[in-house]
Amino acid sequence: MVKQTVYKQTRLEDYTPPEYLVDTTELVFSLNETKTIVQARSRFRRNPAAVSGDNTLRLAGEHIQLLQLRLDGEAIPHSRINLDEHHLAITGVPDSFVVDIKTLIKPEENSALSGLYLSEGMFCTQCEAEGFRRITYFPDRPDILARFSTRIEAERKRFPVLLSNGNLVTRGKLGTDQHFAEWRDPFPKPSYLFALVAGDLVCHKDRYLTCSGRHIDLQIYVQPRNGHKCAHAMASLKKAMQWDESVFGLECDLDQYMIVAVDDFNMGAMENKGLNIFNSKYVLASPESATDQDYLGIEAVIAHEYFHN
């Protein structure tokens, strides 16, 4: 007998606003295949639209290990913490505060293709719909928008490319064999649009001049063996950008726009702000192996994900 899954019905009329909002989230990733350390600092404030007045902060978290937890720089008494396999709750929080959380995750063991995982030796994330809770404890719901900044640290030789949402702020060396990159996304977004990629990739580059005269750096990252298969994808991206400007008067609002092609991806593509992650099928094409339908599919999916911006 096959056991059937029973899904809980969700109605709009049952919606309740979150008790707390997040203004900013600062992330630091120390990447390692077996044990990645994530440090998250989030600034919370009470939601004026909240209805209950409850002073308990409730965060989602799955398949992660809590290493450290602080509120406004101070350790929290165990009596105020409730932790289970799906949630972290802190009672008695004020109207505005900062929470520091350190977690340990194991990308090598993550076969769900949700959260942070490995794809052919490359770190990759997929956070839609509820994958961010596999990275750190967070109010992982689409009606909470925060400004994210991300610092990525990894071994320089094996992971020379370190990417995240937004614009690159700085990068440099750490000791003899490590390096880092810091990214800042100036636009508030829900956690399901967070993205991170780290690996040995080659970059197909171009530039786009917007209708207001701004130059946007366009970058498509692929594995070295696929570097010759990006021309149509880049042409499709520029075509979509021009169409959005000519029809709606909307131009790209970041300094750079990136696409990464991943073989192990559980969707066709994902519209993470400024860092779209694609199934390789919808990026790579060459006349020797691709059909007309393949070319049309790439053009359609790249446009679709770009228009999400």
Q: What is the mean pLDDT of residues 264-285?
A: 93
Decide which of 3.40.50.1000, 3.40.190.10, 3.40.50.410, 3.30.2010.30 is the CATH code for 202-307. 3.30.2010.30
Strand locations in the chain (E): 20-30, 36-46, 57-60, 65-71, 74-75, 81-83, 87-90, 96-105, 115-119, 122-126, 147-155, 161-164, 167-174, 178-184, 196-199, 202-209, 215-222, 256-262, 269-270, 275-279
245 is catalytic: no
Q: How far does CA 220 lie from the centroid of its chain?
A: 17
Angstrom distance (rounded) from CA 128 to CA 32: 23
The span from the CA of 269 to the CA of 236, in Å, is 15
What is the amino acid identity at position 114? Answer: S
Q: 135, 64 in Cβ contact below 8 A? A: yes
pLDDT at 10: 82
Residue with tokens 């770190």: 123
Q: Does residue 165 surpass a pLDDT of 80?
A: yes
Quote the pLDDT of residue 265. Answer: 82
Rounded Cα–Cα distance for residues 23 and 42 (Å):
7
Whether the predicted pLDDT of 197 surpasses 80: yes
* Average pLDDT for 214-226: 97
The pLDDT of residue 116 = 98
**Domain 19-199's class?**
mainly beta
Give 225-268 pLDDT, tens digit per residue: 999 999 999 999 999 999 999 999 999 999 999 999 998 887 88
Residues 167 and 183 sit within 8 Å (Cβ to Cβ)? yes
pLDDT in tens, 26-65: 999 999 999 999 999 999 999 999 988 889 999 999 999 9
Cβ–Cβ < 8 Å for 201, 185: no
Catalytic residue among 128, 182, 299, 305: 305
Quote the pLDDT of residue 1. 60
Nearest to 224 by CA among 259, 255, 200: 200
44 strand-pairing partners: 22, 97
Residue 2 clears pLDDT 70, i.e. is over it: no
d(CA 244, CA 256): 16
Domain boundaries, the chain: 19-199, 202-307
CB 165 within 8 A of CB 145: no
283-301: burial string, b at 16+ Cβ within 10 Å, e else: bbbeeeebeeebbebbbeb
Q: Name the average pLDDT for the chain.
A: 96
Q: What's the pLDDT at 52?
A: 85
Phi, psi dihedrals of residue 8, rounded to the nearest 5°:
-80, 130
Token pair recorded at residue 6: 């029973």
| pLDDT per position as a tens digit, 293-308 | 999 999 999 999 999 9
Read off the pLDDT of residues 103-158 as tens digits, 9 standing for 90 and up: 999 999 999 999 999 998 999 999 999 999 999 999 999 999 999 999 999 999 99
Are 201 and 211 contacting, i.e. CB atoms less than 8 angstroms apart?
Answer: no
Nearest alpha-carbon partner for 76 in 87, 63, 89: 89
Q: Which of helix, strand or coil describes residue 191?
A: helix
**pLDDT > 70: percent of the chain:** 98
